[in-house]
Amino acid sequence: MSNKPAEQYLSDYFDLDMSPHYAVMLTGAWGSGKTHFIEKVCDEHKDRKIHYISLYGLSATSEIDDLIYAQLHPILANKHVKFVGKLATMTLKLGGIIDLNGDGKSDVDASLSPKIDLSSIMNADGNPKTIFVFDDFERCGIEAKVLLGYINYYVEHVGAKVVILSNPEKIEDENFQTLKEKVIGQSIEVQMDVDSALTEFIGLFAENRFGQVLLDNEILIKETFNSANYKNLRNLRTSFIALQRLYNALPQKAKDSDKYCEELLTLALPLSLEMSSGQDIEMLLDYWSSVMVADEKEELSKIRNKYPKVRWAQISEPERLILQNFLKKGFIDQPFLEQVALASHVFLEDNTPDWMRLCNVFYIDQAAFDTAKKNVIDQLSNHEFTDMAQVLLIYGTLMNFSEEGLFSEKTSDELVGEAKQYIEFVEKNNLDEYAKFIGKTHHYFGFFDGFGGFGVPNSEGRKQLSSWLENKQKAFIENSREMMATALLQEIKNIPKQGDDLTVKFDLNGEYRNFAIFSLVKPSDVIGALSNYQTATEWAIFSYIVKSRFKYSNVDSYDPYLVELDFYKNLNCLLDIYISNHQGKVTILGANDLKMNLSDVIEKLKNRVAQKETMKVNVSAE
């Protein structure tokens, strides 16, 4: 529906050459575009003095006085902002009573009336051309009766033209409908105008490539918004801003692909809108788990059916993980995103590896599937793949095919056995590659990290193989303790030469993240390495490594490091000796910083130990 009649009415109201002595209320649901509508109308009347006042969160009429005073006297307000309230209070108080219900008695305490100088509002001829727009009426903390009485001063006693924006359904005062008749002479419902809002929102991104992506997919966006049946235009704008971040993190090849961008919007925009409406997108994305539970299937199917273009059953684990982290936490792992994006079926070409074709089985025909399957089996037999994450991806895909009835040559158990043999072959013949793989912290979904993951998350074969690999990793780490401790100590010694290269290994994706590497080294060896540093900056790098281990973790995430507590305590004691022996040396600046961080770490770990002990006692008592 069009808002042209409402626009014309307001234009005529603004152009009245007399004081109307009534306010106009624009109504509509939150996010329906009321604010955008009034801004557009006001923009067409720039010759008027229009003051826009948001009532959101205000709790006293004096706060409205301050906002109006600041607009009427911007220079004074800016220079003496702390005294705005006092200055406003000192101006002329308007007289009269506020009778909202027609009983001849004042319904509002006179002390709550506006305290604004009339000369700031009136023109020389006494005809006030100033227009006041009060937005977010229902979000104001002032009682509706009081607020209407306050606004009535401008309507009746000042004679100003006043527009009030409100969502009446959210006004809790049951007497509002009766009280408003004294102040509001006309109520107009603002219709949601998706077309004009979409044009404006897309225009916000006109200066970059993402704006063109939105423009190219305007029909898709409109269909998605209408399908969502979530009538809040503001959240559509918010979704665009969020999705621009995701787009900017994509590899250039994905950014330049119209097809990939269309698929990204097809999937991500519904999720963003559903999350804004309160839906659990983690459950929405987990298609295969929800179809196992009747209640969840029925509930989630209703939502999924609103978006027939979304390939719910084909969303891979990595895609699911990326979107969950992005939409719920605002987190983007850019290297992982790049890897997953480039593994998309959109980029299937003649030279695409056969293993990648198998991962995109939904998008290839039978002949291509048969050829790719045969070639991959031959490559596995010849041990042609050297990247272990890639090997797991392939075997996991074949296990999935076996369980789905697409691969009858071998059972899932046989494929698990072959995968184990392949990894043991690499362990025996390419120890460096094996060590790089098995020693990595697999923080996403076990050992099936990398190359886009695969298939259905509940694969039994995958569970068996993951469990076996975890045991292999534990054995490898146990056998490598001395070797890893020696390597870390050497890296600490090399900090003056290599700078902060070591910090990468302690970052989110680093091999030392969530691994108690400091439990393997001697504090005396570490203080010996630190003692050779010549600048405080070199100390600061190691200090950052210690600090960052705990800075972004929740308390229950400290558990992997509890076995490092003795190391930190002993290093702290040795640090006291170093500081005592190096008074007057610039390096004690770095040593003092490290000591401060060590004290914080020790305190956190001690508190976690105590907490766990308390939990044990409570469990025993129960």
Domain ranges of the chain: 4-192, 195-347, 354-479, 482-621
Tell me, what's the pLDDT at 451? 40
Tell me, what's the pLDDT at 179? 74
Tell me, what's the pLDDT at 548? 83
Q: How far apart are CA 253 and CA 502, in angstroms?
A: 31
What are the residues whose beta carbons fall under 8 Å from the beta carbon of 505, sequence distance 6 or more?
Answer: 491, 511, 512, 513
Tell me, what's the pLDDT at 291? 59
Q: What is the mean pLDDT of the chain?
A: 81
The helix or strand, by DSSP H or E, that contains position 283, with its residue range, turns out to be helix 281-285
> Which of 118-132, 188-202, 597-611 is predicted least confidently?
118-132
Tell me, what's the pLDDT at 102? 46
Tell me, what's the pLDDT at 581? 94
Tell me, what's the pLDDT at 456? 45
Please compute, for residue 197, the number of CA atoms within 13 A of its CA located in the half-sphere on the CB side: 27
Q: How far apart are CA 25 and CA 162, in angstroms?
A: 9
Tell me, what's the pLDDT at 113? 56
Report yes or no: 332 and 249 within 8 Å, Cβ to Cβ: yes
What are the residues whose beta carbons fall under 8 Å from the beta carbon of 419, sequence distance 6 or more?
Answer: 391, 392, 395, 465
For residue range 210-231, list pLDDT tens digits in order. 999 999 999 999 999 888 887 7
Range 582-593 average pLDDT: 94
Phi, psi for residue 316 in degrees, rounded to 5: -75, 165
Q: How far apart are CA 163 and CA 135, in angstroms?
A: 8
At the topology level of CATH, where does 4-192 sit?
Answer: Rossmann fold (3.40.50)
Q: How far apart are CA 355 and CA 396, in angstroms?
A: 11
